[in-house]
Amino acid sequence: MTEPLRVDVLTLFPRMFDGPLRQSLLGRAIESGLVEVRIHDIREHAHDKHRQVDDYGFGGGPGMVMKPEPVFDAVESLGEEPKRVVLLSPAGRRFDQAMARELATEPRLVLICGRYEGVDERVVQGLPAEEVSIGDFVLAGGEVAALAMLEAVTRLVPGVVGNEESLGEESFEEGLLDYPHYTRPRSFRGMEVPAVLLTGDHAKIERWRREAALEKTERNRPDLLEAEAMGPDGGADERGSSEEAP
Ligand code: JFB
């Protein structure tokens, strides 16, 4: 085996990771030593007498902001080795499959989970940390987003997903959504499995799947088809700012 991917997660809610890290794909990847995940409680790096990790925001406005010192201390306690530091944030660059592939090649990742209104901007500037968002919706903190990223990255680490699931054939890898899947029974509540899937004619099945994937993509994610037509940069310049973080 090659070096495992090591991920350090910094959070004020370490117990949110207990269940997910023991289950299913993440649990098996960790159990088999392909991925090493360490959860760190940011509050253990608060050194004032009240163990304070948040404070009022300069300039006013509602809500509290996470102080920079405990976050810097927590990251610095991880040692000197170079590592990619990601700050989960609704104002981050959008996480996608290309970023997941990139992160899966790193030896070490640090995921910082904020709470409240977010983290003092000097964490981004000074550590430095890359701000990443998992999508245009509002969560209460970075923990669930970190788990989503962790699962997306972990399943791309060689050896985590077996050969029975070919990673190249699934959604996004070809710019289309996945084709529809069916299993037994052949007839269920009056709904039939498409006859072509029962023919054993693999060329015909391949053509049907491609067409069905295209229809599903047109219906559910027309933006993916437009992006394809506009080339690899998705025509970012022409499209304006309607897809920025909330
Ligand atoms: C991530 C977070 C908050 C400011 C703060 C820390 N896709 C996503 N939605 N929401 C988050 C995210 C990611 N990644 C996210 C970290 C924090 C939300 N909050 C709460 C909500 C709105 N504005 C604090």
pLDDT tens readout for residues 106-123? 999 999 999 999 999 999
Q: Is 135 in the pocket of ligand 1 (CB under 6 A)?
A: yes
Nearest CA, atom 8, ligand 1: 90
Give the residue from 75, 46, 50, 52 showing the smallest Cα distance to 64.
Answer: 52
* Residues 14-21, mean pLDDT to the nearest whole number: 98
pLDDT band at 1 (very low <50, low <70, confident <90, very high): low
Give Cβ neighbours of residue 106 (< 8 Å, ≥ 6 apart).
Answer: 5, 83, 84
Q: pLDDT at residue 134 above 50?
A: yes
Q: Residue 11 CB: number of other CB atoms within 10 A?
A: 24
Nearest CA, atom 4, ligand 1: 117
Q: Is 139 in the pocket of ligand 1 (CB under 6 A)?
A: yes
Q: pLDDT at residue 245 above 50?
A: no
Q: What percent of the chain has pLDDT over 70?
A: 90
Name the strand (E) or helix (H) holding 5.
Answer: strand 5-11
Q: What is the rounded distance in angstroms from the CA atom of residue 77 to the CA atom of residue 103?
A: 22
pLDDT band at 244 (very low <50, low <70, confident <90, very high): very low
- Residue 63 vs residues 29, 55, 132, 148, 198: alpha-carbon distances, Å: 38, 9, 21, 26, 58
Instruction: Report which of residues 243 and 52 the model is more confident about.
Output: 52
Mean confidence (pLDDT) of the chain: 93
pLDDT of the residue at 241: 43
Q: pLDDT at residue 27 above 90?
A: yes
Q: What percent of the chain has pLDDT over 90?
A: 85
Q: Is 138 in the pocket of ligand 1 (CB under 6 A)?
A: yes
Q: Which atom of ligand 1 is nearest to the CA of 139?
A: 10
pLDDT band at 173 (very low <50, low <70, confident <90, very high): low
Q: Which atom of ligand 1 is nearest to the CA of 92?
A: 14
Q: Is 118 in the pocket of ligand 1 (CB under 6 A)?
A: yes
CA of 72 to the centre of ligand 1 (A): 19
* Residues 53-70, mean pLDDT to the nearest whole number: 98
Q: Is 10 in the pocket of ligand 1 (CB under 6 A)?
A: no
| Long-range residue pairs from 56-65, CB within 8 A, at least 24 positions apart, any chain | 57/117, 61/117, 62/117, 63/116, 63/117, 64/116, 64/117, 65/116, 65/117, 65/118, 65/119, 65/120
Q: Is 115 in the pocket of ligand 1 (CB under 6 A)?
A: yes
Nearest CA, atom 12, ligand 1: 90
Q: Is 141 in the pocket of ligand 1 (CB under 6 A)?
A: yes
